[in-house]
Amino acid sequence: MKIGLFIPCYVNAIYPDVGIATYKLLYHFGLDVDYPADQTCCGQPMANAGFESKAFELAKNFDEMFDQYDYIVAPSASCAAFVKYNYPSVLKGSHPCRTSEKIYDICEFVHDVVKPVKLPGRFPHKVSIHNSCHGVRELHLSSASELNIARYSKIKNLLSLVEGIEIFEPDKVDECCGFGGMFAIEEPAVSVCMGEDKVRSHVAAGAEYITGADSSCLMHLQSIAKRNKLPAKFIHAVQILTSGL
């Protein structure tokens, strides 16, 4: 099993520790992990802004670069979902997309493919899980409440393997935090209001830390918490999973 590690541009630039934690976790499981040094942005910002054609060259480069791997793993539910669901249309007319069926978010990959029964280390803290929209409704990291199906959470399942952790979830467990990429730029007042509601809900649940699979959502919530002087710290789920490595 050969793994291509995809580190999204904002993770690389702002949260490099998340990328390092992703590599450490995959290496811990004895997997053959490679990091293609020439990788670039996946093209999601262009497509989200309404310029999908501008993402073509990036998608083509990504598809050619990562085609050699059995799996592609990324510490970002939104970027993984963009490749999985948008690349076939972005590359339509060029060549069949070869990577959309291979890509996984790190939490999705560990839960569904690796399937560990234990993890090393301790994280003796109260943690509230933020379920990002891409993770819930495209990658199915947890159940969507509007479907009225049995409740599940892959992130919660993984975190429960870490010794000492206390896991919480907020009311309206899968409600959007208001980030939404371009939405936060085009509708800042609404975005901030949604984010404030979400952070307060996490804090009310008893969270010392707020965690999730998307650094972009966590970044949005962290800035709101800081501005409002709310007592919450933020950490990507993969950093908790590697707390003993």
Domains of the chain: 2-114 (3.40.50), 126-241 (no CATH)
Query: Which DSSP symbol is given to 105?
Result: E
pLDDT digits (tens, 9 = 90+) for 189-232: 999 999 999 999 999 999 999 999 999 999 999 999 999 999 99
pLDDT of amino acid 195: 95
Instruction: Report the first-to-last Cα separation within the chain, whole angstroms.
Output: 22
Segment among 21-30, 45-54, 121-130 with least mean pLDDT: 45-54
Give the confidence band of 121 by pLDDT, cuts at 50, 70, 90. Answer: confident
Residues of the chain with pLDDT > 70: what percent?
100
Give the three-class secondary structure for 28: helix
> Cα separation of 190 and 51, whole Å?
24
> Does the pTM of the predicted model rise above 0.75?
yes
pLDDT of amino acid 161: 97
pLDDT digits (tens, 9 = 90+) for 5-16: 999 998 999 999
pLDDT of amino acid 163: 96
